Copies of this chain bind each other. A is one copy, B any other.
Amino acid sequence: MPLTAEPLDICDEAPSPRQQAVLDAVLSLIVEGDDPLTMDAVARRASCSKETLYKWFGDRDGLLTATVRWQASRVHAGRYEVHGLDAATLRDNLQDFAESWLAVIASRSSVALNRIAVAHAGSHKSNLGAIVLANGRFAIGERVKPVLEAGRAAGLLAFEDGEAAFRTFFGLVGRDIQIRLLLGDAIPLDVAEIRSDAARAVEQFLTLYGQA
């Protein structure tokens, strides 16, 4: 097993440092968003040869997939406490979720990555959209639902279906923001705005699902 990078065909393995540098180059190109993200541009930015690109990632789709995974691996935030939940902690947790989710979907890299994945989902030939979904919408759902259920167990929330409750929360937080950003609308969203947006969403969610 050499120290150098192996091809990550069925890419469940973590990328080597050099591969991470390549993926960061892809991300930087995506975020800048001026060039149409060609393999030549990636090779140039990453100071590597296209041959290496294809050896490591198989093809363009493989490179994109690895990039999405790489980006996702950096986003996953900390765990949340679900034992001995009181009203204030529940509210704080939901506020945290809402803020970080808004920050993610408003980031240039998320917008660009989602654009690529959406375009890809049209020409059906890879599961890039599914990967983005699994690491975005569904990942956050799996992290929020335990909190909601803990809230219910503590008598703070009332709902039948945790999934449905989460989807309502999701809608209250995101509203029209993601689709507008994807379609090129320039919404100014600074930190203060994100915070107040999140607070409003949490307030509304607690109005709908809060117990007493």
Q: Across the interface, do B176 and A121 meet the contact criterion of CB distance under 8 Å?
A: no
- Of B118, B171, B204, B207, which contacts A118 at CB under 8 A? B118
Residue contact A183 to B122, C-beta cutoff 8 Å: no
Q: Is A103 an interface residue (CB 8 A)?
A: no
- Complex formed: what's the CA distance from A77 to B204 in Å? 30
Complex CA gap A118/B175 in Å reads 17
Partner of A182, one of B118, B168, B184, B207: B118
What number of copies of this chain does the assembly contain?
A: 2
Cβ of A105 to closest chain B Cβ, rounded Å? 9
A155 at the interface (CB under 8 A from B): no
Q: Whole-angstrom distance between the alpha carbons of A36 and B122 in the complex?
A: 9
Contact A133 B172 (CB under 8 A): no
Secondary structure of the A contact surface, majority rule? helix
A111-142: CB near B (< 8 Å → 1, else 0) gives 01011111101111001011011000100000
Quick one: which of B132, B173, B176 contacts A170, CB cutoff 8 A? Answer: B176
Chain A residues near B (Cβ < 8 Å)? 33, 36, 112, 114-119, 121-124, 127, 129-130, 132-133, 137, 167-168, 170-176, 178-180, 182-185, 204, 207-208
List 27 interface pairs A-B (beta carbons < 8 Å), by A numbering.
A33-B122, A112-B122, A114-B183, A115-B121, A116-B122, A118-B118, A118-B119, A118-B182, A119-B119, A119-B122, A121-B182, A129-B182, A133-B183, A133-B184, A137-B176, A137-B179, A167-B176, A168-B172, A168-B204, A170-B175, A171-B171, A171-B173, A171-B174, A182-B182, A204-B208, A207-B208, A208-B208
